[in-house]
Structure 1
Amino acid sequence: MKVVVGAAAAVIGIIVLGILGVVAVVMADDDAAAAGTSGDGSLRGVPEEYRTWILKADDACKEPEMTPALLAAQLEQESGFQQRAASSVGAQGPAQFMPGTWATWGRDDDHSGEASPWDIGDAVMGQGRMMCSLLGQAKSSGYPGDVRALALAGYNAGWQRVQQFRGVPPKSFAGGQTYNYVRTILAAMPRFEGPGLLQVAGSGDGPDALRRAAARIGTPYAWGGGGPGGPSLGYCDGTNGYLGGKCAASSTVGFDCSSLVQYSYWPHVQLPRTAAAQYGATSDHPVSRTDLQPGDLLFWSHGGSSGSIYHVAIYAGDGTVLQAPRTGRDVELAPLTSAMPQSDYYGATRP
């Protein structure tokens, strides 16, 4: 049986408990704290609006193989955390339920008056119920292999296919769709695992933006990707977005530095898309380096002019910044002094 550990009450202020190089994530908010988390219930790199529901779905399942990271990696594979995702075969919502399957697992968990696969809460709780049941079936089946892999295969292809092959369907089945689905999710799980080391409390535009950005730690960097709605595929422009001589951005769902900032402040403060434009929109509220507060924006420039600003980050307190650094890296917490070349530091503003 899973051990449930009560979450701490809200902490006043912002305390960075990690050492340099340790990736940190936002602690569970009040709703998540009320729900509790499992003994291995650490979670990072998910949108704030999904976090509470993932923890609740995990807590509701007593199968020890169920973890928040498993649900998060599955949601990323199913929809990229896009609430209005729809497939060509009729799958709906963040967890991509077919109507017939939704009729079995769907409930009005968010108490909106309707059980809907398009609602984040309803979808994630339905996903959790179905995966919990499949984990139980996998354990009692006696089939060889990781029970998580068997459950994921049942979610993707139907349990009857797992029974047909007495395991995860092979590459030859359905063009390898289920085989690759399982492998991708299991490989992605570590990106969503990790203890909460960045605690954000308080309200206001700055703390709220920092809290939302911290929930995205671990999300890949994608040049040109991301926006107010969350991460998306990036693109290469002839100079940016490449890794090892290949265009990495066009196959990466993520944020770049300015889209992370835009996403974090949206919709209460609707900042423009690029770092230079964000400086222009907030430069009438400059902040000295000695007066920085959580949520302030920091800018770096080539050549010391506002027209050459190339990077923006969010001040996270205690001399650290939260940023999407560059291609090949993930959204991270980093020391202000080494986030970018110190000689390029241009200034800070308060949106």
Structure 2
Amino acid sequence: MKVLTGIAAAAVALLIAPIFLIGLAAAAVDRPDIELPDGKGRGLKGVPAAFHPWFLKASQACEHPELSPALLAAQMNQESHFNTKRPFRSPAGAEGPAQFMPGTWATWGRDDDGNGRIDPYDIGDAVMAQGRMMCSLVGQAKRSGYRDDPRRLALAGYNAGWTRVEQFKGVPPSSWALLDKDDPTSGQTYNYVRLIMASLPQFQGPTGLNVSGSGIGPNALRRASSYIGTPYSWGGGTPAGPSRGYCDGTNGYLPNGECSASKTPGFDCSSLVQYAYWPDKQLPRTAEPQYRATAHNPVAKSELRPGDLLFWSNKSGYIYHVALYAGDGKVLHAPRTGRNVQVQDMATAMPAGDYHGATRPQA
């Protein structure tokens, strides 16, 4: 909830919603315990699958390392329990999972998911707007010189407005904007910040691959590892990150016949590789052309290095799968619909008899 008015009475009224939302247990969304590291060396767990790639993307789009995916997830949980149902609106009029007031949404909202609308209920639009606003506030907090954690200051600014942070030269005290007049420590913004910071461990997963070395290969592997845990989406993924895919009559479906790709932001095997190497090496979009583009530099199994590309083909020789070598006999890849980007043993990642060979992209 964002409070940007300078009128104290209106501000107090608008501040009620986030704590009110904590009690909406029925609005909570199931959160699979999927662990998802980001490119800044921090992980994410316990969030709905549809939110995974967006928290990563919003974090990575911010130049301030303080804005981790886990911080955004903890804040979203506090705001709405990841609720995307319509109409989900606070008593003050804040909407969507990130609880934006209409005036604030007009500033920060964009069509980030590319569906042709700018909607506070759309997960991609909401998370990216949350990330942009929080990134700006973290920057203000770091420039302010106030002696407090920039994350705490940014959260206070998101909730009460930066003018309140300036007024108190920090997080508003527990006695400001009381939710319970009989409790002198029930200050809304104070407790909003306290609860989010206390819940961070709930959303912080382990870090990703420990990739050593420099150069185009290790850099590509690091970039791809930032999306471990992201869902597979047939036809999804671009050099800019995860996106929804499509079903073509054969691919993109779950075992029950449901088309997963069209509603799942993610990567397929070759788009993950394309993303990993972009822009250092602008590889083609699909596995077969990626092999042809790099086949002039083949690599034996005994000579594999992190970031090398491994290919599998069917009996006719058509390349149907590509993965990145992750070291120690393992690969990082997007396996198939219903699975997530993950690290697996090279010997079992795909049928051993289909292994076609490896190549080393060069800048």
TM-score by length of 2: 0.56
* Structure 2 counterpart of 1:246, from 240, 254, 258: 258
1:115-126 paired onto structure 2 within 5 Å? none
- In the other structure, the counterpart of 2:74 is 70
Q: In the TM superposition, what is the alpha-carbon distance from 1:200 to its structure 2 partner?
A: 1.5
For structure 1, which runs of at least 5 residues remain unmatched after alignment? 1-21, 30-40, 60-65, 114-121, 143-149, 155-185
* Structure 1 counterpart of 2:309, from 294, 297, 310: 297
SS class of match (1:294)? coil
Give the whole-Å Cα distance in 1 for the aligned partners of 2:264 and 2:221. Answer: 23
- In the other structure, the counterpart of 1:109 is 139
1:266 paired to 2:278: yes
Give the whole-Å Cα distance in 1 for the aligned partners of 2:357 and 2:236. Answer: 25
Cα 1:133/1:268, change in 2 over 3 Å: same
The answer to whether the 8 A contact 1:320-1:334 is kept is yes
TM-score by length of 1: 0.58
* Structure 2 counterpart of 1:96, from 111, 115, 129: 129
Letter of the structure 2 residue corresponding to residue 290 of structure 1: S
* Structure 2 counterpart of 1:141, from 162, 173, 179: 179
Q: In the TM superposition, what is the alpha-carbon distance from 1:252 to its structure 2 partner?
A: 0.4
Give the whole-Å Cα distance in 2 for the aligned partners of 1:48 and 1:292. Answer: 33
- In the other structure, the counterpart of 2:300 is 288
1:185-334 paired onto structure 2 within 5 Å? 193-243=204-254, 244-303=256-315, 305=317, 308-334=318-344
Count how many residue pairs are aligned between Structure 1 and Structure 2: 256
Alpha-carbon deviations, 1:170-221, whole Å to 9, x = none?
A: xxxxxxxxxxxxxxxx9xx98x642115212322100100000010101111
* Structure 2 counterpart of 1:347, from 352, 357, 361: 357
SS class of match (2:270)? helix
Cα 1:346/1:126, change in 2 over 3 Å: farther
The answer to whether the 8 A contact 2:36-2:230 is kept is no
The answer to whether the 8 A contact 1:226-1:259 is kept is yes
RMSD: 4.9
Give the whole-Å Cα distance in 2 for the aligned partners of 1:81 and 1:332. Answer: 29
Cα 1:72/1:193, change in 2 over 3 Å: farther
Taking only the aligned residue pairs, the percentage that are identical comes to 43
For structure 2, which runs of at least 5 residues remain unmatched after alignment? 1-33, 46-52, 85-96, 99-108, 144-149, 162-170, 181-187, 193-198
The answer to whether the 8 A contact 1:258-1:275 is kept is yes
SS class of match (2:129)? coil
Alpha-carbon deviations, 1:41-78, whole Å to 9, x = none?
A: 7447624961875751469xxxxxx845435887x977
Greater radius of gyration (CA): 2
Letter of the structure 1 residue corresponding to residue 227 of structure 2: R
